[in-house]
Every structure is written in C-alpha cells, then in structure tokens.
Amino acid sequence: MRDKYYRLGCDIGGTFTDFVLLNDQTGEITTGKCLTTPRDPSDAVEEGIRALEATAPDFVAKLDELIHGTTLVINSIIERKGAITGLITTKGFRDVLEIGREIRYAPYDVFAEFPKPLVPRRYRTEVDERVRSDGSVIKALDTEEARQTVRALLDMGVESIAVCLLNSFENPSHELMLLEIIEKEAPGISVSISYHVLPQIKEYERTSTTVTNAYVKPLTGRYLSKLAARLESIGFKGKLFIMLSSGGVTSVETAAEFPVRIIESGPTAAVIAGQYYGKHFNIPEMFCFDMGGTTAKSCLIQKGVAGVVPTFEVGRVQRFMKGSGLTIQVPVVDLMEIGAGGGSIAKVSKLGTLQVGPESSGADPGPICYGRGGTGPCVTDADLLLGYLDENYFLGGTMNLDKESARRGVEEGIAKPLGVSFIQAVWGIHDLINETMAAAAKTHIAEKGGNPKIVTIAAFGGAGPVHAYGLAKKLGAPRLLVPPNAGVGSAMGFFTAPRAFDLLRSHKVPLASVNFSEIEDIFRGLEADAGKILKKEATDEMIRYERSLDMRFVGQGSEINVPVPAGDFTKLQRADIRRFFDDVYKKLYGRTYPESEVEFINFKIRASLPERLLQLPRFSRKKGQSLDAAIKGQRPAYSPIARDFIPYTVYDRYKLFPAAEFQGPAIIEEKESTLIVGEDGHVSIDDFGFLWIDLKEV
C-alpha cells in the first residue's frame, strides 16, 4: 500500500477558490470552496486546505500531488501588474508591437482604442543584425554593440528582458549569443528568448508572445515559489503541478519558465472534465458551460474532443471584439468567455435600459447579499430574490446571505430608475444574463458546425446549474447534464487532464522539394526537448508522442493542422502527406484543389504520459431509500412559464439515488451549487450520480 494516496485539485477563480480532494484508494471525493484572496492567492489555498483537514485529518502528509489552476497570469496582464520589461529586436523592428497586423478591429469607429503594448517604446531597443528566411546570416551580430544594448536596458531599471530577432526560428544563433551576454551582465535577471518561447513564423505574434512571457515571468516565478514554500510549511511533500491552457498539466518549474502557457489555466479544467464525461457517456455533441462568480466560459465538445486553437487574445480593450486585445500564440483550449457571472453588476445604461455585466464585483466586495460592502445589485442577488438560492444554505450553510439588503439594492438601483416592478427588475437581471450567454453560445456553436437543437449542455461552476435551465430553453437544447460536485467542476477537471506538453517549430518548405530526413530531424529535436520536460516525472518508455503539420496551399495566408502517424517520417511518401492534407481540407471546406501545390509551415508535437484518470464511483440504492427522504421541503420561486412565484420542491442532492426520477418544478441543492428545473423538465439520476434533465421541445 502506498504511503501517499491523496490527490488535491485547487482552482483559483476570480471570486471563489475551489478544492477537490480525491482518495485514490477508496475513490472518496471531498470538496471545499472559499472566497479568493486577490492580494495573495496563496492565503485562500492554505485556508481551503485547513478547512479540508476537518473532514480528512492529516491528509496533507499523505498527499501525492496537488494540481493547481490560477488566473494570476491573465489578471496581471489585464491589470498591468507585470514586470518592467525590455525588448531587444532586429534593427527596424522596434515598433512591431504597435504595428501588429495593421488591421482595425472596428473599421468604422474613428475612436477605436488599441491595447497599449506591455513594453513602452523607451524600453524597446534594436541590434544591427540580420538573418534570411532560410536561416543564412546576412549581417552578423556585433557582440560589443549587443553588450551596450543590454547595459542600456539594465540602466533603465528593467526587471525582465525579451529577445525576439527576425527569422530566429530558422537560425537562433544570434538570440543564443544575446542570452549568454545577458546572463553574464545581469546573472539574476529574467530572460525570455523567442526561440525557446515560440520558434514560429509570423513576426508580430512571436514578438507579442515572447514579450508577454517576459512580462509575467518574474511575478509567476515569485508566486509559484511562495506557494511551494507555503505548502511545504504545512507539511506537503508531494508533487506540485500546474494546469496548461492547452488542457495538459505540467511541472511547476516548466510553468515558471513559460508562464504564457498557463494564461487560461483555470477555465480550461472544466472543459477537460466535460471532455472526459462526454467520452464516458458517448455524447456526440456536448456544450460545456462553466459559470462562476466573475465569468462564464463555454466550449463545444464534439465526439468527446475539445478543440485546441493555436492563438487567442488577452486584455481586450473592447471585451468581446476580436482584434482589440494582445495576441498570444500558444495552444489553448477553444474557449468562449462571456462577461457573465454571479458577481456581474446590473445597472441602468446610458440609454435608460437594463445592462448586466461585463463589470463584476468579484470576491471583494462581491454581491450585495454577501454583506461585504457591495453596493451594486448583481446576478447572485437576483437569483436569491427569485427564490433560486437559499440564504441559509449558501456554500452548504457556511455563508449566510443578506436577502433584505439585496432587495433594497435591486429596488433602488434598478426597479425605481427604470420605473418597473420589483419582479420585473429581478427577473430582468436573471433573464438578460441568460440571453447574453445564449446569443454568444449560438454563435460559438455555429462557428464549430454544431447544432444547438441537439447538444447536451453540461453545467459546471457555482452559478452554472442555476442558469443552465434558462440557457437550454433559449438555445432549444433538449437535455442538461449536471455532474456530481458541479460547483467545483474545474477542480474536478484536474484529475482528468493528461501530463502533456506541446512544442512546435516553423520551417517553410514546399512538399514537392522537401527532404524527409530533414523533417524527421526536426521532429526528433522537438521530441527530445519535450521529453526533457516530462522526464522529471517518467521514464522514456512512458512518454507518447503525437505529430502534426501545419500546411497550406502555396500562396495562402493561413494554414490547417494535419495529424501524421508517429514514427519515422522518412517511411512516408509524398502522396501519403498530400492525401492527409486533402482529407482535412475537404472536411473543413467541402472541397480541395489537387492541382495546387502545398507547403509545410509548422511542425508540431505533443508529448504526453499515460493518463491517471479519475475513476467515477458507482452508487446503488440503499434498502428503504425513498425519494420522500430527499425532499427538504418547498419554497416559492419564480417561474417564467407561470410568470409568477410558484412552489418548487427542494431536494437534497446527497440523498438522491440511482434510478430516482421526478418532474419539475424542482430545486436541487448541494454545497457548492444549486440546480433549477422548470415545470417542463424531467430529472433522472444515473448509476454515477449524474443528473440528467430532459426538456420538452421549445
């Protein structure tokens, strides 16, 4: 029997920090939730662990691993709280961060703002060197000039340096020389070179990503070191892992070196849990919906696979306008984020209409009903006043809500200024946030070729099950799925995520003239680099490699990803590669062009270890167990069908059993979340404790 048999998932969100403790010997799961501590997130981590010890005494000493997801990196970019960063680039490319792609995201808005670069112009310097696109050197780097450039940045007080030279993905020699000079001139300073962060074609994206990594690297390093030390001080001697934006998990050392890879660390985990459940129940199309206190995230999972995209934006000036943020070129699960959470603030807009979000009250002060000084009525306040939440059973009764203060806040802030009744105001807040999410969800599903009329909606997060029924009605979705411990769904997802790391390298070459041995060398080099990252946790034999190519027709501006078989690339034929490309292209666009030449752009690998999955425990009905015993009582709650308050039957989720079923209207409560089901919803419970809600056709 192993000494260490516990695993802990810890997800730091904008409002709450979630915990899931898994006993690998018994399969027992213990959950916890506490308010996030924005000034020092590790405070909430320790507080939550201490609270869990009341249920599982001395578990910390038996903890094999702690898997952590955090919003720290993305928040430091949005709030501009990163390091003073300097950039060294090729002569003539000092302004690439501002020039970008030369695209106006709002072409008809003369007042359109663009995000300020993370590195102000005075901290951006140049070196007179030049490398051709094929990697040959036109002008060698002058080491003395490079040394003077580094010293000039250090004299300005920079705390971190980014290096991004033209075409360094083909020949990194000049960047490596600069790295050596920086390490000699300032041994303790943080450095990020593009060849290590993103050896990929496209100058703006590569520079932006490298600069972002350098900007958050000192802060992330300090936080992870502090967290590791704090965990050690309370007796933790296991392994600490961090969730990657791409859906894998990695070591704390790798996360500290490449913090740009963990920007979407927390939101990704719920999608990975949804992906696992989709495969487990063989659901062809699942819409994963995770609504917390600050934002709602969603993702369409098709055939048990969540899409991964190579680029995304962060810190948008216009939150939902593509092109108004900083471009980051790292693999990330294809999430859609909406400024809609339990803490989203309702107000009267300049046009005299109701507006909900995207501003959030967060964890501090939070909604009015938290009693922590919040003054703006929020979605959680409306949910409480609609009867959907029990003021005495929020977070399992550990946090009482102030219903009267919430009522006054809605009356004074919304009902009176708009000249509407109190009921119209509270229902308006709840319904408008559902409408906002449904509109965004329809677009997201359509873009992925899905159909909202056939998707199963899987609800996660503290507020997800409260709003999932209303969202399903607006989408016309026929079914809802609410897993056990849905309120801490992201933390559950950590147990289903693989140990994996993605790497790529650009090398533009036509298929017709490519040397297959050269391609095999590139793949082997990438696999060796990724292997070094994973070898700290496993042997060579355990690591599995997946290969893929980014390809396009010669002359095209964008490429498609084409998976290729693992193993020796030289064993493949040109006709095989062309067939792989045509199959993917035809699936995406309906046809292909056999007469047009194709070319390689990027070579990608994913290195992963055998999955250590969460085993879903089966439940059985105990002798004498009845549905009546699960009923906590009734309470009036608002029905959009009746347009009035009607009695809803309240169920204790922990007393429901397999094969139990009942008709709405119903409220099903557990510690971390509450599920609302209308009159036209039918609830059934399966052998794994999942709630399935079938809705009548809209």
Taking all residues of the chain, what is their mean pLDDT, rounded to a whole number? 88
Whether the per-residue pLDDT at 20 is higher than 80: the answer is yes
List the structure tokens of 276: 């696992």
* CA dihedral (354, 356, 360, 363) positive or negative: positive
Whether the per-residue pLDDT at 383 is higher than 80: the answer is yes
Core vs surface per residue 273-296: b (16+ CB within 10 A) or e: bbbbbbebbebebbbbbbbbbbbb
For residues 575, 576, 578, 583, the Cα torsion angle rounded to the nearest 10 degrees is 140
Mean pLDDT is highest, among 13-27, 99-113, 190-204, 247-261, for 190-204
Instruction: Map tokens 């050269």 to a residue.
Output: 518
Higher per-residue pLDDT: 75 or 291 = 291
Rounded mean pLDDT, 514-541: 84
Which residues fall within 8 angstroms of residue 533, CB to CB, at 6 or more apart?
Answer: 250, 251, 254, 501, 607
CA–CA separation, 41 vs 515, rounded Å?
A: 51
Q: How many helices (H) and strands (E) does the chain have?
A: 18, 35
C-beta of residue 94 within 8 angstroms of C-beta of residue 34? no
- Reading phi first (left if > 0) and then psi (alpha if -120 to 50, else beta), residue 643 is in left
pLDDT of residue 684: 95
Helix, strand, coil percentages for the chain (3-state, nearest 5): 35, 25, 35
CA–CA separation, 25 vs 256, rounded Å?
A: 32
C-beta of residue 345 within 8 angstroms of C-beta of residue 360? yes
First-to-final CA distance of the chain: 54
C-beta of residue 609 within 8 angstroms of C-beta of residue 533? no
Whether the per-residue pLDDT at 29 is higher than 50: the answer is yes
Long-range Cβ contacts of 437-442 (<8 Å, 24+ apart): 437/289, 437/291, 437/296, 437/298, 437/338, 437/340, 437/467, 437/471, 438/471, 438/474, 438/475, 440/298, 440/320, 440/336, 440/338, 441/287, 441/289, 441/298, 441/336, 441/471, 441/475, 442/475
Residue 406's nearest CA partner among 441, 444, 361 is 361
Alpha-carbon separation of residue 48 from 19, 30, 43, 60, 226 (angstroms): 7, 12, 9, 12, 17
Instruction: Map tokens 């055998």 to a residue.
Output: 610
pLDDT of residue 143: 93
Instruction: Map tokens 């112009």 to a residue.
Output: 121
Please write the tens of the pLDDT for every residue from 233-267.
888 888 888 888 888 888 888 889 999 988 877 77
C-beta of residue 34 within 8 angstroms of C-beta of residue 67? no
Please write the tens of the pLDDT for every residue from 413-472.
999 999 999 999 999 999 999 998 898 888 888 878 788 899 999 998 888 899 999 999
Residue 601's nearest CA partner among 666, 670, 516, 504 is 504
Q: Which domains does the chain have, with CATH numbers?
A: 6-77+222-262 (3.30.420.40), 82-210 (3.40.50), 267-340+433-494 (3.30.420.40), 344-431 (no CATH), 500-608 (3.30.1490)
Rounded mean pLDDT, 385-398: 88
Alpha-carbon separation of residue 410 from 344, 414, 545, 642 (angstroms): 13, 5, 55, 22
pLDDT of residue 618: 81
C-beta of residue 540 within 8 angstroms of C-beta of residue 561? no
Which residues fall within 8 angstroms of residue 466, CB to CB, at 6 or more apart?
Answer: 291, 342, 383, 388, 389, 673, 674, 675, 676
For the beta carbon of residue 580, count every other beta carbon within 10 angstroms. Answer: 18
Report phi then psi at 652, rounded to 5. -90, 115
CA–CA separation, 497 vs 308, rounded Å?
A: 14
Provide the residue type at 635 as one letter: R
What is the CA angle 259-263-264, rounded to 5? 145
Reduced to 3 states, what is the DSSP secondary structure of residue 644?
Answer: strand
Residue 242's nearest CA partner among 4, 9, 530, 535 is 9
**pTM for the structure as a whole:** 0.81
Residues in the chain: 698
Which residues fall within 8 angstroms of residue 93, CB to CB, at 6 or more apart?
Answer: 126, 166, 203, 207
Rounded mean pLDDT, 139-146: 94
Q: Which residues pair with 456 in a beta bridge?
A: 286, 479
Rounded mean pLDDT, 568-580: 92
pLDDT of residue 637: 96
Whether the per-residue pLDDT at 357 is higher than 80: the answer is no
C-beta of residue 510 within 8 angstroms of C-beta of residue 554? yes
C-beta of residue 185 within 8 angstroms of C-beta of residue 154? yes
3-state secondary structure 255-317: HHHCHHHHCCHHHHHHHHHHHHHHHHCCCCEEEEEEECCCCEEEEEEECCEECEECCEEECCC
List the structure tokens of 654: 């922990």
Q: Helix crossing, 173-185 with 143-155: angle to 10°? A: 50
Residue 1 pLDDT grade (very low, low, confident, very high; cuts 50, 70, 90) = very low
Whether the per-residue pLDDT at 537 is higher than 70: the answer is no
C-beta of residue 457 within 8 angstroms of C-beta of residue 301? no
CA–CA separation, 120 vs 123, rounded Å?
A: 6
* CA dihedral (515, 518, 522, 528) positive or negative: positive
C-beta of residue 604 within 8 angstroms of C-beta of residue 503? yes
Alpha-carbon separation of residue 177 from 143, 168, 195 (angstroms): 8, 12, 12
Cis ω for the linkage preceding 358 (within 30 of 0): yes
Mean pLDDT is highest, among 105-109, 172-176, 540-544, for 172-176
For the beta carbon of residue 77, count every other beta carbon within 10 angstroms. Answer: 22
Residue 289's nearest CA partner among 689, 32, 673 is 673
pLDDT of residue 80: 83
Whether the per-residue pLDDT at 23 is higher than 90: the answer is no
**227-231, 326-330, 604-608 — which is least confidently predicted?**
326-330
DSSP tag of 80:
T
C-beta of residue 600 within 8 angstroms of C-beta of residue 507? yes
Alpha-carbon separation of residue 291 from 15, 58, 273 (angstroms): 11, 32, 14
CA–CA separation, 198 vs 204, rounded Å?
A: 12
